[in-house]
């Protein structure tokens, strides 16, 4: 995999690039930035041994050495950059959220399948060994009755937002806000385990510019309900709890890291603690997983991931429609 990195923000310089140090299967071939961020791109290229720097996306897509593009740009351009890459016969890794609407996700999914190209959503939660282990343990809980997930983290940009300075992360026109940022991890956790819900309701705290600074998604399934809380305007311990008639599972750490979990079955004093993640950086596992799928040419695994991405986006889109007029 010869990968071009698109972006120079935190998700790239503190996320993808450090994570890729432990993924020799992927070669960091190029980095793209808009012209005003060229200096940042050149510095990252020097620090992470990336040999090519582009400020023209169309020129990057003409580079025959590159066969994968990682899109680590603001939410509102994920679809545009992913579609362009596919049309240029490049495989794609796109940061969460996959796109901004389910229609966009479906179009990218269909285009990838039509061209026999690979598209992955970079959502850490679903690619961690601890998530797979939770899925395996789930039947032990019996009939599920309630699921609660909370990812609350006071944003480093929130103080400036309160002063009237709106970064993309707090701009509803660019699909910023708690739902499409932190709560996407909660939705992936829940939908990844239980599928698309029957009903979706969203209640949010709305900032001065119409953005959801925090909120709760309530989802109704056939035999249980699930709630997903996310906040960028306040802090709390982050966790998820799955309650079944025969026991519970409680995760340890933030849902984007999923550092471990404990399971307790009714009638037992024993609480089993499980921690299977192998790498210190939360994003390493997903890149390892994408490389494995691509190298094995496991197209069905890629399609399964896209089905989950579509179900999550349908859920998020229903929630967002209740706060955006």
- In angstroms, the CA 260 to CA 47 distance is 32
**Contact by Cβ (8 Å): 160, 170:** no
pLDDT at 207 over 60: yes
Which strands form 271-274's sheet, in the order they lie side by side? 199-206, 212-220, 225-231, 144-152, 239-244, 247-252, 260-265, 271-274
Residue 6 — φ and ψ, nearest 5°? Answer: -105, 115
CB-facing half-sphere around the CA of 178: CA atoms within 13 A: 31
Residue 325 confidence class, pLDDT cut points 50, 70, 90: low
pLDDT classification of 315: cutoffs 50, 70, 90? very high
Residues in the chain: 325
With vertex at residue 16, the alpha carbon angle to CA 212 and CA 256, rounded to the nearest 5 degrees, is 45
The continuous run of DSSP H or E covering 67 comes out as: none
Which of 303, 320, 297, 286 has the alpha carbon at shortest distance from 96?
Answer: 286
pTM of this structure: 0.95
How distant is the alpha carbon of residue 325 from its chain centre?
Answer: 25
Mind listing the pLDDT tens digit for each residue in 144-203?
999 999 999 999 999 999 999 999 999 999 999 999 999 999 999 999 999 999 999 999
Mean pLDDT of 76-104: 97
What is the pLDDT of the chain when averaged over all its residues? 97
DSSP letters, 141-191, are G-SEEEEEEEEE---TTHHHHHTT---GGG-GGGT-STTTTHHHHHHHHHH
For residue 324, what pLDDT is reported? Answer: 75
pLDDT per residue over 222-233, tens digit each?
Answer: 999 999 999 999
Report the alpha-carbon distance of residue 188 to residue 124 in Å, rounded.
10
Of 225, 175, 220, 183, the closest CA to residue 204 belongs to: 183
Query: For the chain, how big is the Rg over CA atoms in Å?
Result: 20
Mean pLDDT of 217-222: 98
CA distances from residue 31 to 10, 73, 196, 250 in whole angstroms, order as listed = 14, 12, 36, 39
pLDDT, tens digit, for every residue of 240-255?
A: 999 999 999 999 999 9
CATH number corresponding to 2-122: 3.40.50.720
- Rounded to an integer, what distance in angstroms lies between the CA atom of residue 166 and that of residue 42? 27
Per the structure block, which two tokens stand in for 26? 């992927």
CATH 3.30.360.10 matches 126-277: yes
User: Domain ranges in the chain?
Assistant: 2-122, 126-277
Query: What single DSSP character describes residue 216?
Result: E
Q: How confident is the model at residue 272 (pLDDT cuts 50, 70, 90)?
A: very high
């Amino acid at each position: 995999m010869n990968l071009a990195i698109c972006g120079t923000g935190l998700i790239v310089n503190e996320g993808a690039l450090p994570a890729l140090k432990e993924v020799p299967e992927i070669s960091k071939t190029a980095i793209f930035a808009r012209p005003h961020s060229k200096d940042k791109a050149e510095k990252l290229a020097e620090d992470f041994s990336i040999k090519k720097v582009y400020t023209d996306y169309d020129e990057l897509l003409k580079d025959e050495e590159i066969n994968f593009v990682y899109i680590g740009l603001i939410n509102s351009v994920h679809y545009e950059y992913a579609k362009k890459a596919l049309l240029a016969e490049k495989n794609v890794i796109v940061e969460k959220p996959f796109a901004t609407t389910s229609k966009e996700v479906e179009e990218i999914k269909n285009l990838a399948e039509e061209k026999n190209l690979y598209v992955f959503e970079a959502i850490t939660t679903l690619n961690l060994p601890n998530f797979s282990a939770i899925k395996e343990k789930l039947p032990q809980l019996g009939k599920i009755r309630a699921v609660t997930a909370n990812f609350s983290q006071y944003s480093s940009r929130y103080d400036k937002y309160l002063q009237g300075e709106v970064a993309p992360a707090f701009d509803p026109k660019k699909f910023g806000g708690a739902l499409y940022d932190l709560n996407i991890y909660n939705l992936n956790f829940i939908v990844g385990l239980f599928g698309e819900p029957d009903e979706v309701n969203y209640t949010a705290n709305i900032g001065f510019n119409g953005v959801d600074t925090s909120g709760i998604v309530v989802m109704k399934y056939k035999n249980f309900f699930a709630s997903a809380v996310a906040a960028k305007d306040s802090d709390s311990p982050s966790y998820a709890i799955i309650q079944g008639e025969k026991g519970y599972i409680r995760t340890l750490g933030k849902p984007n890291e999923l550092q471990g979990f404990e399971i307790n079955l009714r009638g037992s004093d024993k609480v089993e603690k499980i921690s299977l993640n192998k790498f210190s950086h939360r994003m390493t596992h997903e890149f390892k997983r994408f490389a494995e799928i691509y190298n094995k040419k496991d197209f069905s695994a890629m399609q399964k991931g896209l089905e989950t991405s579509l179900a999550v986006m349908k859920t998020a889109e229903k929630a967002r429609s209740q706060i955006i007029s």
